[in-house]
Structures are given as structure tokens and as C-alpha cells.
A and B are shown apart, each in its own frame.
Chain A
Amino acid sequence: MTDWTDLVISLIKAFLVFIGVVNTVPILVWAERRGSAFIQHRLGPNRVNIAGVTLFGLVQPLADVVKFIWKEDYAPSHANRVFYVLAPVLLLVPAAMTFAVIPFADVLTVAGREIKMQVADLNIGILYIFALTSLSVYGIVLAGWSSNNKYSLMGGIRSSAQMISYELALGLSVVGILMIYRSVQLDEIVLAQGRELFGVLPKWGVVTQPLAFVLFLAAIFAESNRLPFDLPEAESELVVGYHTEYSAMKFAIFFMAEYMAMITGSMLIVTLFFGGWQIPWVESAELKAAVGEVPAALLQLGSFSTKVLFFLWLFIWVRWTLPRFRYDQLMRLGWKVILPLALANIFATGLVLYFT
């Protein structure tokens, strides 16, 4: 009997997390369009309405979705049909699976049952995320190659080179965090960040590993193909790169996958460097004792969401601030700057840990 309740609880968690993440995507698109508009002294989409209600333009994504669904699903005749259809799926599925190991709140105890506030408590934790994010490169390369279009192919090739280069930096910049918190499980890393350093600062990853944070931030921008590292798309030179030949919902899936990669990235940054669901200077146990189990979990969820939303905004903010890197600059930054710095950071962390 207990097995069944566990299964049901897991299914409910998976459903809620998936729905939550998927519904963040249109809000992000809205934030991107309206935010960029206000940064560039424009108004942005504010006309679409339902019976006069525009919700500051939030109805626009709804109209976009309707348009995407009803558009002709055109596939070029020279494309390799099997891989052409497979590519968006290969990109979306890993992007949607990554959220499984992110903890959203402290362990919740309801009716004597401990419920972990993450979909799957894997003991490999962060390695699972890295494994899945590296899978997404296949979707992009396959899309570029099966389209049989030189721009798409260029985009796919650039993307694979960029992702492989920055995955290294991504993985290495996290090693310091793993050394300090002595775990690869994200819930344990978050728990360890709940303590305080010198009694004042919360023991967040960004305090203990500031250099790793900067490197990780740069690498995660590159991994999610966002400006200033959006060379696979590069509108000015490659049309839109790997998804040039895609239309209708297939294009929308690429779009969704990009935004989901952004959400993954933000959640990872928050979990590793900003204490996940921890509310600064508030102990989880004290909070539970003060307001009760469920309100505490909701407050922690709120704390987590606020941090994640800030980093999602940072993604958008940076996109409308910085120009795109040139390909050789990108490679030089990845291999000659971020990689040695990440290695030096690991060495320094090891020294400090050895002597303390």
C-alpha cells in the first residue's frame, strides 16, 4: 500500500513541477519582450486583449500559442524527415527532465510521512543534470544537420563546439562547491548552505566560492545559448542558425527548450550558489517551529522562486545589454580564461580545505 502512495506523491510532484516550469516559459517570453521594449525605449506588445483585458501584454503569449498551433507545419523537401522531426524532441525532453533533482523546499513532514520537495532524490544529483544538459547538444546538431541548410549546419557546428568547450568549464567550476559541501546531492548542498559564516554572512556558495560563481554564470549562459554567447543562433550572420528551417510548433518547441534551459540554469545557480530554498538568517527548523510545516515549505518555495526569477531576469537583462561574442573570442574565453581559472580555483579550494 505504501508503495502506491509514494508513487502517487511522486507523480503529483512531477506533474506540478512540469506544469510550473512550462507555464513559466510564456511569462518569460512576455518579460523578455516587454522588458527589452522598455530598455530600448519602446512599448512592446500591449494590444492583444480578451474583452479589453490586456494584463500588461500578458495575453500576447496566448495569441502566440494559438498562432503557432494553427500555422502550417512546413518541412522542407530536402530535409531528412526522421531526424528533422526527432531533433526538437531531443532538445525538449532533456530540458524538461532536468528539474527532477532540484529541491524546492525543505523536507515536508505531513501525517508522519516525510516528503522530499524534489521530484527525484538521486544520489548522483548534479552529475545527472550535467549528463542531461550535455544531451541537448544532440538536438541542436541534429536539427542543424537534418535541415540540409548551410546556415542551420553552421549553427549546429558552432553549437556543438561551444557546448563542449563550456561544459568543461561548467563542470570544473562546480568542483569547488562539491569540495566545500562534500556532496553531489543537491538537497544536501542546499542544507549545508543554511549555516552561517562568521555568524553574519549566510554560508552560500557565492560567499565561499565567488570566482566559481562568476565562471559558472558565464558557462551557464553559454550552455543555454543566450547572449552574449548565442552564436548558434546569430541572427545577423546565420539567420537563426539551427532552427532556420523550422516553423509552427516545431519552432515553438525549440523556443521552449531555450527558455527551459534558462530556467534550469537559474535553478542551478540558485541551488549551488545562493542557498536554494534557504531564507537567509532563518533556520529551517526554527521556521517550521514558528509557522508550521506547510507554511514554512511555502515560504521556502517563495524564497527559491524569488531567487530563480531574479536570475531569469538577469538572463534577459544581459541579453539586451551585451553584444554577441565573435567565434574566436568565445573559444579563447572558454579555453584560455575560464578553464585555467576554474582549475586554479579548485587548487586554491583544495589548499584552503587541507590547511583548515
Chain B
Amino acid sequence: MVIDPRHVKVLRAEDIIRERAHTEAWWKRIYLPAVVMGLGVTIRNMVRNLIHPGGLPTIRYPEERRDYGARFRGRHYLKKRPSGEPRCVACMMCATACPADCIFIVAGEHPDPAIEKYPVRFDIDGLRCIMCGYCVDACPEDAIAMTKEYEWASYEREDFIWDKEYLLNWRDEKVVDDGYQPYEGEIDKSRMSRGTL
């Protein structure tokens, strides 16, 4: 359809506003009742919050914490065998899966032929890690898992390189809930049923 520009009615914003201003009731046009009503709204909210400050959405952080879900992806830890050694067999699955390339593993030969390999070094760079949890998904040994720990601020960059010893033992120093570990115990269970554990 072709529109003849001569027949188009051009409406300017000012005209619309002026037209509307004349159709509104006079007590709306002087704005003052609306201003008073607005003041009533703000003071009502304020008095309610003063009387009942517990209803405020603010979480007073160091004293109060948000309750995060069970699948929260916080700082990793390495699981141990009953002997105290890491469950990790240095298969490199997690390092391969890691999209941020933050896991560094050096494999060594384990004296027990049933285990074959163990990590001589296992470092996670906390500044690179994007907390995606792919390492946990990738692990065939259920050796790495995540916790709900999210407070690891530091002044030193070195503090963000978590080595094997730290990842194995940091949970002894700080009590943190388990986070993302969807296959907890399943590998041991299937091995038990096949009699390979």
C-alpha cells in the first residue's frame, strides 16, 4: 500500500501532551495531590521498614549468609583414599576438559600396580578457574569435587595457586559444606557390584 505523505497526519509529542492535559481532571493537572500521595507512599514504606527491619531484603553479610543450593560450585578439593593418598590417578581428564586451562598435573608412577599413576603435582589456578565444574564431571575416579566455599580473597597472587597438598587438606582447616559433586559414591558403588574395588 502506498501512503500519500500529504494525507498523513503528523502528531507532535507536545500536541499530544497538551491535548491530554486538557482532558485530565483539574486536580490531576495541578499535580499537588499526586505529590502528596507520592509522599504518603514513601513514608509508608519507610515507617514499615523502621518498625520491621527484619523484612528488608538486605543480608548483613559477615553475620548472615545466603543459603546456596546443594549444587553450588565453590572451591575444589581433592578426595582421599582411606590411606590418605589422593584418589586422583593423574589421567588428565579434568585438565583436558577444563575450558579455562587452569589445572596443571604432573603424573608419577605409583608403586601399587593396581593404581598405576598418581599426581606428583596437581595445581589449580584460582584466578583462571571459571567454576564451571567440568573437571568434576570429567573425573572417572570421583577424585575431585566442589564445595560451597567462596571466600578466598587475598592480597597475594600466589595464594590463588592451590597445589596438591592444599587441595587435599584445606577442608581440615575450614568447615565448608559439600557443593557440586553429582557422582558422589557412584563409581565406588558400581565397582563394588562388579567386584573390582
Listed in ascending order, the chain A residues whose CB lies under 8 Å from chain B are 35, 38-39, 41-43, 214, 317-318, 320-322
Contact = CB atoms under 8 A, between A and B. Distances in A.
Contact of B39 (A35, A38, A317): A317
B45 interface: yes
Interface residues of B, number: 16
Given A41-B57, A42-B56, A42-B58, A320 B32 contact: no
19 contacts: A35-B46, A38-B45, A38-B46, A38-B49, A39-B42, A39-B45, A39-B46, A39-B49, A41-B45, A41-B49, A42-B56, A42-B58, A43-B56, A214-B32, A317-B42, A318-B35, A320-B42, A321-B41, A322-B38
Contacts of A322: 35, 38
A35 B47 CA distance: 10
B58 A43 contact: yes
A41 B56 contact: yes
A38 B44 CA distance: 10
A318 B39 CA distance: 7
B60 interface: yes
Interface in B47-68: 49-50, 53, 56-58, 60
Contacts of A214: 32
A41 B43 CA distance: 12
A318 B35 CA distance: 9
Q: Which 9 A-B pairs have the closest CB atoms?
A: A38-B49, A321-B42, A38-B46, A39-B46, A321-B38, A43-B58, A39-B42, A321-B39, A41-B56
Contacts of A38: 45-46, 49-50
Contact of A43 (B42, B43, B60): B60
B103 to A, nearest CB: 38
A317 B44 CA distance: 11
Nearest to B44: A39
Contacts of B45: 38-39, 41
A185 to B, nearest CB: 31
A321 B37 CA distance: 10
Nearest to A337: B30
A321 B42 CA distance: 6
A321 B32 CA distance: 13
B104 to A, nearest CB: 40
A32 B53 CA distance: 18
B3 to A, nearest CB: 32
Contacts of B57: 41
B32 A317 contact: no
Contacts of A43: 53, 56, 58, 60
A74 B132 CA distance: 44
A317 B43 contact: yes
B74 to A, nearest CB: 26
A321 B34 CA distance: 11
A59 B131 CA distance: 40
Contacts of A317: 39, 42-43
A42 B39 CA distance: 18
Interface in B6-46: 32, 35, 38-39, 41-43, 45-46
Contacts of B49: 38-39, 41
Nearest to B62: A47
Given A38-B49, A39-B45, 6 more contacts: A38-B50, A41-B45, A43-B60, A318-B35, A321-B38, A321-B42
